Amino acid sequence: MAAAQEGYPKLFSPIEVGGGKLANRLVMAPLYTGYAAEGGRPSPYLIEHYRMMGASGLAMVVVESVAVKVSEAGSHRMLRADQDGSTEDLARIAEAVHAGGALACCQINHPGRFDMLGGPVGPSPVDVSGMVPRELTAPEIREFVQAYAAAARRVKEAGFDMVELHGGTGYLLASFVSPRTNQRTDAYGGSLEARLRFPLEVLEATRQAVGEGFPVGYRFLVNEWLPGGFGPPEDQPVAQALEKGGVAYLSVMGGTYESFFLPEVVERTSQDGYMAEPTARIKEAVSIPVMTAGRISHPALAEKILEEGRADLIGLARVILADPDWVRKAREGREAEIIHCRTNCDACMTQVMGGRSVICAAWPKEKRTEVKQKLEEA
């Protein structure tokens, strides 16, 4: 075992993130599972899933995106942090993660133009995939700022160690930063500084709500991979503005629902470590820890990315879902036994987009049957 750890000295070295001590560089990147029950309450299997992830040897688990605001139509299967009554449910998830020794972080989000229940909202009524979001008014934007802050407070009260603002996937925060979807002419649109105003106000209010010493991370969409969309060279100044605003770490991602299925993006994202280069650009620009995620299927690749200084943290989403023993196998020199997330398999993404729960196609048949049964029983 010691010999194998020597094989990945960087991967299994500790790091401090916003004052929190991570035992190694491996983090579960948020992965919406659809395991919550209708209405957004945790199901028994959702708790079991996070208990398993917390015990997998990862240093920290970032729990999938949790709603900061829910319309009267409900939340389907999205977990909730939108009311004080949500805190108890969140506490059960934090406890499940902690039981196995990992730190627990919770991602908070509003889907913005992808809010299928409350109706799509965004900075501007720009047609995206045939849907036109309703333009938020300035008072509504201020309400959203408070909603994120209140949700973060609940995450802290629930016993989590950190909170992460979801600035990815084209959801509400990202839609303000993008010149494609934000065409406002008021203080929240136009220049990069104005497009950043909403995320920075959310960050500031969130930091105040959780107080000193409670780290606030940020999922950062560095490139939409869309014509006229957000991307370099604006990625570096945004990273610097977020650092200045007090984020504890940046978790880098690429693409939105509009680009995920474009042939050139499918080709790009089928490559191992496909976000390592875009992440390296961010790492050059800031001094806070930076996380990369994206098909980091092999421990040796993870080690190489860290060694080359392209990231400080390795995020695993589908990779750790496919094989919850990934970390143990890496530690123990059993890399050959790792069950890999299948390239060009969109099963999990297709399932969640269709409103279903994630059943990983790489799992052995018995596990797929067992998880399906557990979800049906709930």
Q: Which of 83, 76, 137 is nearest to 111 (CA)?
A: 76
All residues at 6 or more sequence positions from 240 whose CB lies less than 8 Å from its CB, including other chains: 285, 286
- 227 and 249 Cβ atoms separated by less than 8 Å: no
Q: State which amino acid sits at residue 338.
A: I
Least separation, in Å, of the C-beta of 53 and ligand FMN? 13
CB-neighbour burial class of residue 84 (10 A; exposed 0-12, middle 13-18, buried 19+): exposed
Q: Is 36 in the site for ligand FMN (CB under 6 A)?
A: no
Q: Is 155 in the site for ligand FMN (CB under 6 A)?
A: no
Least separation, in Å, of the C-beta of 49 and ligand FMN? 13
Closer CB to ligand FMN, 171 or 198, in the complex: 171
Closer CB to ligand FMN, 95 or 260, in the complex: 260
CA dihedral 274, 277, 282, 284 (to 10 degrees): 160
Least separation, in Å, of the C-beta of 286 and ligand FMN? 19
- 57 and 328 Cβ atoms separated by less than 8 Å: yes
- Footprint on residues 337-356 left by ligand FMN (CB under 6 A): 348-349, 352
Closer CB to ligand FMN, 164 or 243, in the complex: 164
Structure tokens at 139: 């008072």
Structure tokens at 59: 């240093």
Cα–Cα–Cα angle for 10, 302, 255, nearest 5°? 135
Q: Which of 219, 281, 283, 310 binds ligand FMN (CB under 6 A)?
A: 219
Q: Is 168 in the site for ligand FMN (CB under 6 A)?
A: yes
Q: State which amino acid sits at residue 182.
A: N
Q: Which of 32, 160, 188, 225 binds ligand FMN (CB under 6 A)?
A: 32
Q: Is 327 in the site for ligand FMN (CB under 6 A)?
A: no
Least separation, in Å, of the C-beta of 2 and ligand FMN? 27
All residues at 6 or more sequence positions from 207 whose CB lies less than 8 Å from its CB, including other chains: 216, 245, 246
Least separation, in Å, of the C-beta of 314 and ligand FMN? 9
Q: Is 31 in the site for ligand FMN (CB under 6 A)?
A: yes
Segment interacting with ligand FMN (CB under 6 A) among 80-88, 89-97, 236-244, 313-321: 313-321
- Footprint on residues 241-260 left by ligand FMN (CB under 6 A): 253
Structure tokens at 112: 């913005």
- 262 and 223 Cβ atoms separated by less than 8 Å: no
DSSP codes of every residue in 213-237: TS-EEEEEEEE--STT-S-TTTHHH
Give yes or no: 45 in active site.
no
Q: Is 318 in the site for ligand FMN (CB under 6 A)?
A: yes
Which candidate in 35, 148, 171, 218 is catalytic?
171
DSSP β-ladder status, 20-22 and 15-17: antiparallel
Least separation, in Å, of the C-beta of 165 and ligand FMN? 10
Instruction: Report d(CA 57, CA 320) in Å as an integer.
Output: 11
Q: Is 266 in the site for ligand FMN (CB under 6 A)?
A: no
Least separation, in Å, of the C-beta of 187 and ligand FMN? 27
Instruction: Report d(CA 87, CA 104) in Å as an integer.
Output: 14
Residue 49: count of CB within 10 angstroms of its CB: 26
Q: Which of 11, 22, 29, 36 binds ligand FMN (CB under 6 A)?
A: 29
Closer CB to ligand FMN, 194 or 361, in the complex: 361
Closer CB to ligand FMN, 243 or 323, in the complex: 323
Q: Is 317 in the site for ligand FMN (CB under 6 A)?
A: yes
Q: Is 293 in the site for ligand FMN (CB under 6 A)?
A: yes
Residues in binding contact with ligand FMN, number by CB under 6 A: 22
3-state SS, residue 274: coil
- The catalytic residues are 171
Interface ranges with ligand FMN (CB under 6 A): 29-32, 64-65, 107, 166, 168, 219, 253, 293-295, 316-319, 348-349, 352, 358
